[in-house]
A and B are shown apart, each in its own frame.
Chain A
Amino acid sequence: AQKVTQAQTEISVVEKEDVTLDCVYETRDTTYYLFWYKQPPSGELVFLIRRNSFDEQNEISGRYSWNFQKSTSSFNFTITASQVVDSAVYFCALSAPLTQGGSEKLVFGKGMKLTVNP
């Protein structure tokens, strides 16, 4: 069965520090996708990135970067020069097949609460 582990439950940093959020996944599928979502205090989950299992290139988007390593089944997320607005709960997720409609669902990790203090 698919599983996503976010070992850190809560991290607190001071503004401008770099912070890395770990994500380890388990799957027997050869084709799968990984996702990161951000949930600010307002409650809505915001999609950040999608990565497929055949693309191991790291990605950078502004202060955000993602490191996908298939060999260690990890998809880690780094925020550089953190800001107070980065305070949120972050979820890593893995796609898993559904039985009908040829579609798939997301299996979420338990989330990691990041607090960035001024």
Chain B
Amino acid sequence: DVKVTQSSRYLVKRTGEKVFLECVQDMDHENMFWYRQDPGLGLRLIYFSYDVKMKEKGDIPEGYSVSREKKERFSLILESASTNQTSMYLCASRITGTGGHQPQHFGDGTRLSIL
């Protein structure tokens, strides 16, 4: 089975701090994703990486950056955390596969609170 591991289930940080959320997958997947999930808004894509050192902005990239130095690890960075970034963050990975559209496999999520 695919295993996507997020480094923390719960995290509390202060406004203005630089915050790192880490995600590791063990299936050699090319594609990795970061989403945030908010009540009433569903999941929204922050950033996407289709291979090592490759990234693309999603629907809500403002205030975030990402890093993918190794294939198995995809980091989400909040450059200067703000209270409106309090949310559940979900990481996902996926094999590219023939024909695309392969299902994404998700981690357990990190519930981040910015005080």
Answer whether A104 and B100 are a contact pair too, CB < 8 Å, given A91-B43, A110-B41: yes
Q: Does B69 contact A (CB under 8 A)?
A: no
In the assembled complex, the CB of B26 is this many whole angstroms from the nearest CB of chain A, namely 15
Size of the B side of the interface (Cβ < 8 Å), in residues, is: 29
State in angstroms the CA–CA spacing of A42 and B88 once bound together. Answer: 12
B74 proximity list for chain A (CB < 8 A): none
Size of the A side of the interface (Cβ < 8 Å), in residues, is: 28
Cross-chain contact B43 with A108 (CB below 8 angstroms): yes
State in angstroms the CA–CA spacing of A44 and B43 once bound together. Answer: 12
Cross-chain contact B108 with A42 (CB below 8 angstroms): yes
Cross-chain contact B31 with A103 (CB below 8 angstroms): yes
Answer whether A101 and B54 are a contact pair too, CB < 8 Å, given A33-B101, A108-B43: yes
Query: Which B residues fall within an 8 A CB radius of A?
Result: 9, 31, 33, 40-45, 48, 50-51, 54, 56, 58, 88, 90, 92, 96, 100-101, 103-109, 111
